[in-house]
Amino acid sequence: MPLSLCCLILWQENSDGSVTTVNPVGEKIEYKYKDSQVKVLFTKLTTPGHLTIKEVKLSSEQKEELGAITDTAYDISSDMQDGTFTYDLTLPNPDTSKDVQVKYSEDGNTFQNIASESKEGVLVIKDLNHFTVFVTVVNPTPPPTFYQESVIDNGDAEYFEVGSWSNTASCAANAYDDDGRYASNSGSKTATWQISVPQTGHYKIYFYDTGLRNALINNFEPIEARGDAGQLFGNFIVCELLKYNCYGNFGFNFNYWRTKGGSEVDLILSKPNHDIIAVEIKSKQQRINQAFVSRYPKSRMVVIARDNYWV
């Protein structure tokens, strides 16, 4: 008796590049999108209908702002009414070395987080009851938090010493406000100033005195010969802007701007009247942050470089 083979065609191609199931979907059947790891498994159906899946390409600005691993998102839709079904969705995880998450969007522009479970190179979202656009992104680190403090003084309540310390008035040092402290001889002596800062986030530390920074790391080489030229130049510019803002009474608030993908602008100077000046500090010429420009086209962008600056 001859063996009869039947080939079941699940999908049909559409003119816009999407695919739609030929027949109404069924429970406990896994629908795999083309040659990929995108899968839909229905766990409950009230009135079965058709399923459509389409790849959507993110713009470079969207990819950068979202922190998307690739420029591909998946638009999943159906002729079934939301809430009349539940399903589990599997999405590929292109980079298992990173902490990733899934975002979804109802309009293709604004994305929100959705809980997912990581399993052997894929991400699984369970018990969904409607279709939308999904994309995998890198979990962002907390954005930097700006904290501004006046000159640290040994009279502050947060300052304390261990060991024997003396006033600089007894030596030849020219101390700030004639009220510095120093430790003579050797031994275990520490001076600590406890900064009261927010407990979450990542911090950038700048010194009002760039020379003090050099002294702490014991590096007095010219900037051209230094591996930390970018950090040194950035520290100097931030210090000067802080002093200029303080003594010129300009009233700017200092902030950072950072995308979830890690792209950032060094400083955002803002005023209560909503004036915004974005400041990029570069040790060499580089292009302006395009993600910021595209999102805030009416803001003013200033780039300060070591050899020149431009607006």
For residue range 166-211, what is the model confidence (pLDDT) as tens digits? 776 544 444 455 566 777 766 678 888 776 666 665 556 666 677 7
pLDDT in tens, 87-127: 999 999 888 777 788 988 887 777 888 888 888 889 999 99
Helices (H) and strands (E) in the chain, counts: 4, 21
Looking at residue 6, its pLDDT comes to 42
Q: Around Cβ 166, how many Cβ atoms within 10 Å?
A: 12
Q: What mean pLDDT do residues 123-146 have?
A: 77
- Banded model confidence at residue 11, pLDDT cuts 50, 70, 90: very high
Q: Around Cβ 168, how many Cβ atoms within 10 Å?
A: 15
Is domain 197-310 in CATH 1.10.287, yes or no? no
Give the integer Cα–Cα distance in Å for 253 and 245. 9
Give the integer Cα–Cα distance in Å for 258 and 278. 12
Looking at residue 288, its pLDDT comes to 67
Q: Which residues contact 227 (CB under 8 A, 6 or more apart)?
A: none
What angle do helix axes 229-247 and 210-217 make, rounded to 10 degrees?
Answer: 150
The answer to whether 310 and 266 have CB atoms below 8 angstroms apart is no
Give the integer Cα–Cα distance in Å for 79 and 63. 29
pTM for the full predicted model: 0.49
Examine the pLDDT at 309 and tell me if it is beyond 60: no
| Structure-block tokens of residue 123 | 């991400």
Closest Cα to residue 260, out of 86, 66, 40? 66
Q: What mean pLDDT do residues 242-249 have?
A: 77
- Terminal-residue alpha carbon distance, the chain: 83
Looking at residue 41, its pLDDT comes to 94
Closest Cα to residue 278, out of 260, 292, 261, 262? 292
- Say which CATH architecture domain 16-138 belongs to: Sandwich (2.60)
120: region left, alpha or beta (phi > 0 left; psi from -120 to 50 alpha): left
- Banded model confidence at residue 245, pLDDT cuts 50, 70, 90: confident
Examine the pLDDT at 293 and tell me if it is beyond 60: yes
Least confident span in 202-216, 246-260, 271-285: 202-216
Long-range contacts formed by 98-102: CB under 8 A, 24+ apart: 98/69, 98/138, 98/139, 99/138, 99/139, 100/69, 100/136, 100/137, 100/138, 100/139, 101/136, 101/137, 101/139, 102/134, 102/135, 102/136, 102/137
Looking at residue 173, its pLDDT comes to 47
pLDDT in tens, 25-34: 999 999 999 8
- Banded model confidence at residue 250, pLDDT cuts 50, 70, 90: confident
Q: Where in the chain is the domain with CATH 2.60.220.30?
A: 16-138
CA distances from 227 to 109, 164, 235, 265 (A): 40, 36, 14, 21
Examine the pLDDT at 86 and tell me if it is beyond 80: yes
Give the CA count within 13 Å in the CB-facing half-sphere of 31. 25
Greater model confidence, 255 or 128: 128
The residue type found at 60 is: S
Q: Where in the chain is the domain with CATH 3.40.1350?
A: 197-310
Q: What is the mean pLDDT of the chain?
A: 78
pLDDT in tens, 38-71: 999 999 999 999 999 999 998 887 887 788 888 9
Give the integer Cα–Cα distance in Å for 137 and 102. 6
